[in-house]
Amino acid sequence: TVVCGAPPAMGGGCLIIFTLLRVLLLAATLNAARIPVPPACGKPQQLNRVVGGQDSDDSEWPWVVSIQKNGTHHCAGSLLTSRWVITAAHCFKDNLNKPSLFSVLLGAWQLGNPGSRSQKVGVAWVQPHPVYSWKEGARADIALVRLEHSIQFSERVLPICLPDASIHLPPNTHCWISGWGSIQDGVPLPHPQTLQKLKVPIIDSEVCSRLYWRGAGQGAITEDMLCAGYLEGERDACLGDSGGPLMCQVDGAWLLAGIISWGEGCAERNRPGVYISLLAYRSWVERIVQGVQLRGRAQGSGALRALSPDSGSAARS
């Protein structure tokens, strides 16, 4: 009031103050209306069982989720955005039209002790790939899960990246699987059910096709599948790991290379894990999921590098 009632020689001060107030008010309004930018995919912000696997660290794989049926762990999945999870279609066999049976638990390192910072959200609907036939070991065993509401990102809840067109997975590329599935055939992961991890090498597709050859021209391994694991057995995904991620780290970001789909037994000799390749279904996912993030190799960085943490694990349902 004093400034605005000042002599004419000082009247400009009033105008300057009002102009500044208007600029500050406009900036505050724009700031409030700004849509939050999602966090970068594939980059854990860690806090300072798969068969033959080991315990993961808390927040090591913040995109791995537990898909629960009637409140019990059923399959795993991976978070793509604040509203979408990706998993295996067979997890919803005979229950596709019953989304109310399912919920998604995010940010839980130990299922037996999920903690106050975990989040549980219902399932709005499930979108399996249109060519999936609901038969065991079928191609296109991939589904997108729409959450009932957006989740809150945190250091425990972050999205994973999808591989862009620059990514190729040559044999012996070392990637990782993770999950809460059985640690042996018929042996569930013991309390507190700590998320397991396992490092697995990619297996040459021709070698895998021969291992799973069914004769009479019937190959079990289709063009959208890839195999990873150990021909000697002993380490593998197992029951309850289905839908979880096969993850490869490229130029500092974790990419979802595949989805745990099927295998004969768990960790049996010459029966490696079979995964649905995201390289085959990236464009389908992009058409449905708005805001999914893609990453690939930086130009000139050469072959895919799987820079990994210490070792890991996953499962099948």
Please list, residue by residue across 125-142, b when 16 or more beta carbons sit within 10 angstroms of its beta carbon and e when fewer do. ebbbbeebeeeebbbbbb
Mean pLDDT for all residues in the chain? 83
CA distance 212 to 208: 6
Mean pLDDT throughout 26-35? 46
Task: Please give the residue that has the higher pLDDT: either 234 or 191.
Answer: 191
Share of the chain above pLDDT 70, in %: 78
CA distances to 13, 15, 21, 77, 272 from 9, in Å: 9, 12, 21, 70, 86
Q: Is 82 a catalytic residue?
A: no
Is pLDDT above 50 for 154? yes
Which one is catalytic: 118, 242, 261, 277? 242
Give Cβ neighbours of residue 249 (< 8 Å, ≥ 6 apart).
42, 175, 255, 305, 306, 307, 308
CA distance 222 to 231: 19
- What's the pLDDT score for residue 31? 46
Mean pLDDT throughout 236-245? 87
Task: Give the tens place of pLDDT for each residue, 173-213.
Answer: 999 999 999 888 888 899 999 999 999 999 999 999 999 98
Q: Which sign does the torsion angle of CA 16, 21, 23, 24 carry?
A: positive
CA distances to 104, 112, 192, 227 from 118, in Å: 10, 12, 15, 32
CA angle 67, 200, 243 (to 5 degrees): 15
Which one is catalytic: 78, 90, 182, 277? 90
The helix (run of H) or strand (run of E) holding residue 211 is helix 205-211
DSSP 83: S
- What's the pLDDT score for residue 52? 60
Torsion of CA 127, 132, 138, 144, to 10 degrees: -10
Tally of residues, the chain: 317
Is pLDDT above 90 for 301? no
CA distance 132 to 141: 6
> Contact 105/118 with Cβ under 8 angstroms?
yes
- What's the pLDDT score for residue 267? 84
Q: What domains can be seen in the chain, in order of their start residue?
A: 54-291 (2.40.10.10)
CA distance 174 to 80: 22
Most confident of 124-133, 183-192, 290-299: 124-133
Task: Give the tens place of pLDDT for each residue, 280-292.
Answer: 999 999 999 999 9
3-state secondary structure of 186: coil
> Contact 212/220 with Cβ under 8 angstroms?
yes
> Contact 107/47 with Cβ under 8 angstroms?
no
The helix (run of H) or strand (run of E) holding residue 18 is helix 12-33
Assigned token pair, 130: 């249109």
The beta strand positions in 14-79, using DSSP E, are 54-55, 64-69, 72-79
Q: Which sign does the torsion angle of CA 118, 123, 128, 133 carry?
A: positive
Task: Give the tens place of pLDDT for each residue, 79-116.
Answer: 999 999 999 999 999 999 999 999 999 999 999 999 89
Which one is catalytic: 56, 78, 118, 141? 141
Q: Is 141 a catalytic residue?
A: yes
Name the residue type at position 185: D
pTM here is 0.81
Closest CA to 266 of 204, 314, 201: 314
Q: Is 174 a catalytic residue?
A: no
- What's the pLDDT score for residue 233? 78
Strand-pairing partners, residue 85, are: 79, 145
- What's the pLDDT score for residue 239? 77
3-state secondary structure of 72: strand
